[in-house]
Structure 1
C-alpha cells in the first residue's frame, strides 16, 4: 500500500474539505460541503457515468438494433425518381365529414307504364352532365352523381328515368366550359380531360372541348368574375385542394395573372428544362433558386398559385437528375407548394434519401429547407399521412447528428414542434384512437430526434417549457411494448436527468415511477433499455428523498430490481472466463454491457437505502445482500472497478442500519472476507470504501477482534499519513471504535499513531473541524485508563498536544482563516457552528484530562539498570 510521508502531506495546499479545486463559487462550496457531510455520516448517493450510445453510421430509419419486423416499418433504402410523383398532384385533403348512406333506387323501378322516349346519342353526349357541386363542401351529395354514371354506362336502348331526363334542362348542370369524361369517349376526348376530373386541379390551363349544338347554356358569370375582361380568361381549379375551399370549386385567372405567368414563371420553367436536358447542374440549381425566390416574393407558394399544377408537373420531370443538391432544391419547391398524398410522401422520401449521406449536411444549412421541413412537420396529419411524416421526421433525425444543424434546429423551435406532435398523438389516443404501429414508427423518429436535440445547452429549458417530459411519460404509458420507442425515450431521460430541474419534473409526474417499472418488467432482457431506465431511476433517487420513498412504494418495484439483479448477475457469471464482446462508445472506451446494467441497478438500490424508512427494509433482504456479496466475491477491482466500488458503497449504506433483522450482520463473516480482499488490493478508493463499511461494522466487538487479528488496525494508523483528507477521516472513524477495547490501545502508540494524530490536528483542524473532533475522540478513548499524561501519550507528544489544543480552543486564533474571503456568510456560520458544537466539547475535555495528569516530577530510573 502506497502512502505519503508527513513532509509530502504538508507541502500540499491546505484547503478545507469542502473547497473544490480550481475556481470557486459560494454555491459550489456549500453544495460540496453538504455532499461531503452526507458521505461522512455513513450514507452516500452513488454516482455513475451516463450510458453512451454508439453513433449509427448507417443513417437509417430504425438502426441496426431495431426489434421491428421488416413488414412493420418503412424501408430506409428505396429507388425514387420522377415516375413516383403524380403529375396531376392527385393528392386531396381527406374529408372527415361522415356522409349519409345513399338511398339507392333501382334504375327500372322508376319507370312508368308509358315507355319513355329513347334519347339520341347526341343528347346523351351533351346532356348527361354531373350536377353542380353544393356550396357547402361538407354536404357533398354523391347519390345523384353515382346514378348519373350508372345511367351513362347503360345501353342507349335502355329506358332512362324521368328524373335523369329532367336534369338535362335544369340549372344544376355544369357549364360547357367544364367538360366531363364519358365512359365511352375515345382516346382523343380522354386526352383533353381537365385536371380536376382526375381528383386535383391546381390552375393548369386545359383545352376546352367545343360545345355541341345541344349543349346547355352556361350560367352567367358574376360581376366579380367579369372584372379585368380585357384579355383571354383561363379557368383554374386551384381551390379544389385548398384547405379552405370546396372540392371542385373553380377560380378564374385574371389577365394580369396570365401575363405574369407567361412573362415570369414560364420562362424560368423553360430554362430549367433546358438546363436539365444539357445536364448543366450549376445553371439548373441557380434557375431553381430564382424560381423559388420569385414565387416566395409574390406569395405564390403554398396553394395560392393558380398555375400550381403546371409548375409542379415541370418540377417532377426534373427529379431524375443525379445531383443531390439539385434534388434538394427541387424537393424544397415541392414541399413549399404544400402537396399532399402520394406527392407529399415521395417528396419526404426524397429529402430523407438525401439526408442519409453525411456529405449533404452542408446543403441543409443553405436557404430555408430546415424551416420547410418543420412546416411540413407541423401541417401533416399523423393519422392520414403517417408514412410521409415518418420520412419527414426521419430526415430531421438524421440531420440532428450534425452539431451545427442541431443548434439551428433548436433555434427554429424544433423541440417545441416535436412536443406538439407528441401531445397531438397522446390526445387522440386519450380520445379513443388506437396506438397503431404507424404511430409508433412516427414516434421512434420523433424521439430519436429529441434525443439528439437534448444535447444542446438551451434544450433543457425548452423541454421543460413545452412540457415535453410530461408528453414523453404519456408516450411510455401508451407504447410500453415498443422496444425501439422505449429505448429512445430512456435515452432522452438519461440525458436530461443529469440536471436537477429535469429530475424534479420527472419525479413529480404522477405516473413516472409506474411507467419506468413497467418498462423494466416488459423489457427485462433488453440491456440497452434496462441500463438507461436504471440510470434514470438512479438520477431521480440520488438527491430526492421523496423520490426514494415513492419508487420503493410503487407496487412490485423492488422485486423487479432484484429480478434484474439476478438475471444479469447470472449472465455475468456465465460469461466469466469467456471473451465477452464489448461495446465501443463515442469516446473510444469499451463497455461490458452486462456489467453496465449491474452498475446501474446496484446504484438504484444504494440510493434507495439512504431513506431511513426504506434502508432497514432492504438491509433485511437476504437475497439482495447475497447478490451484492456475490459481486464482491466474483469480480476483481482491477478489471471491474466501478462495479465493485458501487457494490461496496451499497453494502456501506446497508451496514449503517444496525437492526436485529440485518442481513449484513448475519452474513458479516462473508462481508468481512470480501472487504479484506479490497483492502489488500492496490486501489486507494476501494480501500476507503471498505473502511467505510468497517466504520459501521466495528460497532460490534467480534468484528473488531477479527479485524485486529488481520492487522487492519495497524493499516489504519498507516493511512493517517495519507494526504487524502477523506482517507484520513475514514481511518479516524474506524480507529475510534478500535480504541474502545483496552487491548487494542497499545498498538496506537507502538505504530507512532499519537504523533500522526497530532500532525493531523496541526495540518487539517482549521479547515476541517469535524476531522479535528474525530482525532480528539480517538485520543479520549485511548486515554481511558490514563494515570500520567507523559506515560500515556509520551512526554513530547503530551507537550505538543497541550499546546495545539490551547491554540485551537482560542476563538480568535481558531477562526482567523486565511481563506475566509472565499466563503460567504452562510458557510462562515456553518464553520463556526462545527467548531463550537463538535470540536470544542471533546477538545476541552481532552485538554483537561491531559493537564490533570501532567507532573513535573522526573520518572524514577529503573534500579536494575544501574
Structure 2
C-alpha cells in the first residue's frame, strides 16, 4: 500500500475490510430509531348513549337509546317458566265456519277409531266426540251435540251432575276407557279429587311440555287452578306437581304480606318504603332459595312486581329489576327488564345504586346465560348498561373482580362462532358488539385487564371482527381504541402481530375510512406500535398489497386537508395553531393523524430490506419535505420531530436510487431552519440527518457556507451527551475536507473535545471513541503537534489519553459505582473494541510529531 495515499486518506476512508468511521452513524445508539408518540386523545362522552353521537347507523334499524317503559310493557303470561319447546306458525289463515258447516259438524256422527266397531250402542248415553284432556290432567271439557229437540244449532256443555258418566277419550280402545274420577281415585288407591264444575269455563288447549316442578301455569285471559285440597290431577302428573306445604307456609306467612303491603301503597306510594319492602322481599326469597324458575309462586310474585314498575325513582326501579332478573325471566320480560336497567344506568348520578346489593352479579350472570340468538335485543341493552357502568372507576374495578372481562369474552366468542357457522355476519350482533367493545375499552385500563385479554383470547377475536365488520364504523372505532391501549405493551403487540390477517384488515380500514380521523389516527397508532417492537411485523405490513400506497394516500389526504384549513383564516388561532374538527383548539386532529402515519413509515424503514425501498420512493420523500417546509416547530413540534426522524432513517441508505441522495441539498436546506432554533430536540434530530448527509462533499460545502460546522463546534458545550455525540459525528465528516479543518482550532474545538473526553469518557467509551475520530481526521496532515493542536491543548490531550489507555486506571473508575454486571461487560467491551484502537492511533500520532522545535517553512 502506498504510504502517501494512506497518510492523505481521511480517517473514515479505511480499507474495505476495516470498519469505516463514517459508519458511526449506523453503529451509534441513535442512528436508526423507532419513533415514539402519544396515544390518541379520546374525549370523554358527555352523554351516555347506546351508540356514539357520530354513528352512521340507520335510526330505523338500530335499537333506540331513549324509550318509554312502564308496567304495561311487561307481560304477565311470560312470567311462567317456558317449556323450551317452540311451535312453528301455521301456514294458513283460519276462517270462521259457516252456520251450515257447524250444523253438519254437530249432526254428523264421528266414525270410531275401529272400523269394525258400530257407530252406536243400544242403551248408550248421548254420544260424545272430540273429548280432550288439557295438560294430561283430570279436567275434561267436551263439546257435545245439542239434546234431542233443540233446533238452535248452538254448541252446549253438558252439566256436570254428580252422576254424569265421564266421557271416554276419543279413539281410545275398549281397554282405555276413562273411569269416573271417583273410580280412578279408588283404583289408584288414592282419594279422588273433586270434579271441577263446568262453570269455570273452557280450558286452554293442551300445551307442548308440562309445567316445571309443579309450578302453576298462567295463561292469557284464563288460569288453571289447583283444587282447594291441593290434590293431584292425575297419577304421574301428581308426583311432579305435588303440594309443598313448606312453600305454601313461606308464601302465606312471609312473602304474601310483603307483596300486599307493596301493592297497597298505591300510585302516590312512598318510594323509600317501597324500596325497603323490595329489599325485604328479595332477602326472604334469596334466603329460602326461592329465586328460581321452579318456585310455584314465581308467576304471582312477578305479576305483582310488574304492576309496580310505573315508579320513577331510580333506586326503587333498580331494586324491582333486581327481583325480576333474579327470577331469570325470558322473552319480552327479559328485554324490558334489561331496558329498565339500561334506563337507570344512563344517568351517572345513579351509579352508586349499582354498588349496593348484587345487581352487578345479576347483570353478569344474565349475559353469561342468555341465548345471544333468541334474546339479541335484550343483550344489547344489558351489555349497554355494563358499558355505561365501566365509565365509573369504582364500578370498573368491581366488575373486573367479578370476571366481567371473561364473561364478555365468552359472549364475543359465541357471536363469532355463530357468524362463522351461519357463513354470514348479523347486523343485530353488530349492535351487541359495539356495546361489548366499548365496555372492553374501559376494562382494558384495569390493572389485570391486559393479562385477562391475553388469557381469554380477546385480542385474536377482535382482530377477526375487524375483518368481519369492516363497514361498521362504530365497531371499528371501539376495537381500534382497545388496540391503541393494549399495544402499548410488548406481549399484546406480539399477539396481534402474529394475526397475519390483521395487516390486510388494517390496510382495508384505512382505505375505506380514510376521511374518518378518529379511526385513521388509531389504526395508524396501532400499526406504529406493532412495527416499533417487531421486525417481522415491519416486513409483513410492507409486503401487504397496496400497503405503502395506502399509507402515502392517507399522508397526502391529511396534509392537503391541513393546507386547506390553513388557507381559511377563521380556523387559525392567533398563535398559528389550527383548531380541530371537533372544535377543541387544544387538539389538532389533522396533525395527530400525520404524526401517526409518519411514525409507521419511520418504523418500517428500520428494516434493512424495506428501508432502501422506501428511501427510493420519490413521492414519500417529497411529502415528508413538504410537511417540514409548511410546519412550524412552535405549533407542530411532535410532527416535525417525527418527520425529521423518518428522514434520518431514510438518509442512512445510500443506494443509487435513493431519493434522499437525489434531493440531498434540498433536504439540507429544509433542515437548516431547525438547527437555528433554540429547540434542543429539533437541533438534535436535524444534526442526526446532517451526520448522514455530510458524507457527500456537496452537502458539506453547502452547510459550511451556512456555518453549520461552526454550530456543531458550539454544540460541544451543550452538556447534552447525545447532542455532543451527534455533533462529533457531523464534525468527523467536516474534518475530511482540508479547507474546513482550521475552523476547529479557531473556534476552540480542540479544547472542547478534550473536555468532552475528560467529562464523559469514563461513562461512555463510545463517545470517547467518536471524539478521537474527530481529532484523527483533523490531524491527518500533521507535521507538528504543537502547531496542529496548540502546545497546552496537546499536553492536556496526551495526559487524558495516557490515563484512559491504562486499563486498570480507566476501568476502575468506570466500574467502581456500577452494580449491573451486564453494563460492566458492556463498558469493558466498548473500551477495548471502540475506544482503544482509535485513541492509541491518535496518541501515537501526537507523540510522533511532538518536538520543541517548530518546523521550518519550505524555501520559496
TM-score by length of 2: 0.82
Match of 1:66 among 42, 49, 55: 55
Aligned residues: 770
Structure 1 residue 671, shift from structure 2 partner: 0.9
Match of 2:669 among 670, 673, 698: 673
* Cα distance in 2 for residues equivalent to 1:561 and 1:180: 81
Q: More displaced, 638-647 or 490-499?
A: 638-647
> Is 2:305 the partner of 1:315?
yes
- Look up the SS of the partner of 2:503 in the other structure: helix
> Is 2:52 the partner of 1:49?
no
Equivalent in the alignment of 1:686: 682
Structure 1 residue 294, shift from structure 2 partner: 1.6
Contact 1:479 1:485 in 2 (8 A): yes
Alpha-carbon displacement from aligned partner over 1:570-616 (angstroms, at most 9, x marks no partner): 1111111330542689xx98221111111101100000000000000
* Cα distance in 2 for residues equivalent to 1:194 and 1:272: 34
Equivalent in the alignment of 2:396: 406
* Cα distance in 2 for residues equivalent to 1:55 and 1:564: 26
* Cα distance in 1 for residues equivalent to 2:369 and 2:751: 78
Alpha-carbon displacement from aligned partner over 1:448-479 (angstroms, at most 9, x marks no partner): 00000001111011100111111111111211
How is 1:644-683 mapped onto 2 (pairs within 5 angstroms)? 644-683=640-679
- Look up the SS of the partner of 2:677 in the other structure: coil
Equivalent in the alignment of 1:605: 601
> Is 2:772 the partner of 1:748?
no
Alpha-carbon displacement from aligned partner over 1:94-142 (angstroms, at most 9, x marks no partner): 958797999999999998799989xxxx9899964356579xxxxxxxx
How is 1:719-738 mapped onto 2 (pairs within 5 angstroms)? 719-738=715-734
Structure 1 residue 527, shift from structure 2 partner: 1.3
* Cα distance in 1 for residues equivalent to 2:674 and 2:839: 34
Equivalent in the alignment of 2:775: 779
Match of 1:88 among 66, 69, 77: 77
Equivalent in the alignment of 1:448: 438
Contact 2:31 2:649 in 1 (8 A): yes
* Cα distance in 2 for residues equivalent to 1:38 and 1:472: 39
> Is 2:498 the partner of 1:508?
yes
Alpha-carbon displacement from aligned partner over 1:19-74 (angstroms, at most 9, x marks no partner): xxxxxxxxxxxxxxxxx997635200000000011111110110211111111211
Equivalent in the alignment of 1:13: none
Structure 1 residue 255, shift from structure 2 partner: 2.1
- Unpaired stretches in structure 2, ≥5 consecutive residues: 1-24, 145-151, 157-166, 182-191, 572-577
Equivalent in the alignment of 1:617: 613
* Cα distance in 2 for residues equivalent to 1:663 and 1:654: 9
Contact 1:276 1:284 in 2 (8 A): no
Q: Which has the larger radius of gyration?
A: 2
TM-score by length of 1: 0.82
How is 1:758-837 mapped onto 2 (pairs within 5 angstroms)? 758-817=754-813, 820-837=816-833
Contact 1:195 1:204 in 2 (8 A): no
How is 1:371-386 mapped onto 2 (pairs within 5 angstroms)? 371-386=361-376
* Cα distance in 1 for residues equivalent to 2:645 and 2:580: 25
* Cα distance in 2 for residues equivalent to 1:328 and 1:502: 38
- Relative contact order higher in (CA < 8 Å, ≥ 6 apart): 1
Alpha-carbon displacement from aligned partner over 1:733-755 (angstroms, at most 9, x marks no partner): 10000000000100111111111
- Look up the SS of the partner of 1:289 in the other structure: helix
Contact 1:713 1:738 in 2 (8 A): yes
* Cα distance in 2 for residues equivalent to 1:351 and 1:445: 15
Equivalent in the alignment of 1:582: 580
Structure 1 residue 93, shift from structure 2 partner: 5.5
- Look up the SS of the partner of 2:511 in the other structure: helix
Equivalent in the alignment of 1:534: 524
* Cα distance in 1 for residues equivalent to 2:154 and 2:696: 110
How is 1:211-360 mapped onto 2 (pairs within 5 angstroms)? 220-222=234-236, 225=239, 251-275=241-265, 279-360=269-350
Change (3 A) 1:125 1:558: farther
Contact 1:736 1:778 in 2 (8 A): yes
* Cα distance in 2 for residues equivalent to 1:856 and 1:221: 129
Change (3 A) 1:262 1:163: closer
The root-mean-square deviation of aligned C-alpha atoms, in Å, is 4.0
Equivalent in the alignment of 1:437: 427
Structure 1 residue 281, shift from structure 2 partner: 2.1
Contact 1:583 1:590 in 2 (8 A): no
* Cα distance in 2 for residues equivalent to 1:286 and 1:218: 38
Alpha-carbon displacement from aligned partner over 1:800-845 (angstroms, at most 9, x marks no partner): 0000000111112211237744441111101110010000000000
Equivalent in the alignment of 1:519: 509
- Look up the SS of the partner of 1:388 in the other structure: helix
Equivalent in the alignment of 1:203: 216
Contact 2:79 2:303 in 1 (8 A): no
* Cα distance in 1 for residues equivalent to 2:554 and 2:664: 25
Change (3 A) 1:208 1:317: closer
- Unpaired stretches in structure 1, ≥5 consecutive residues: 1-35, 135-144, 212-216, 226-249, 862-866
Change (3 A) 1:178 1:548: farther
